[in-house]
Amino acid sequence: MDLKDQLKNLFPDHQIEENEKETKEEDGIWLQDNPIICKYEKRKGKPITILEGYTGADSDFKKLAKELKTKLSVGGTIKDETIIIQGDYRDKIMEILKNKGFKVKRVGG
């Protein structure tokens, strides 16, 4: 018997309203209010996409980076609380993050 069932037993007359329903986070990743900044740079002549501004836990940050890398089939890394993806994938990354419920802000060209 989970917590929901116990609460139903204690308060049988209570009706769940729309704003009280649980909101599930996809894959357990914490969704923040501030936008994630998605920017493009060239380092040593090669294009990279940089994501910064995520304020969640490190484990969630790593899950997000791994998911992006596998969906795009590209390499990347995590350094100093930023995700660095090889190549210019700003549009695809922004679409993936918006579908997950994040706010994304595009910076640079």
Q: pLDDT tens digits for 30-77?
A: 777 788 899 999 999 999 999 998 888 888 888 989 999 999 999 999
pTM of the model: 0.69
What lies within 8 Å, CB to CB, of 61 at 6+ separation is 54, 78, 81, 83
Q: With pLDDT > 90 as the criterion, what percentage of the chain qualifies?
A: 39
Strands annotated E in 9-100: 36-43, 46-52, 76-79, 82-86
Rounded CA separation 60/63 (Å):
5
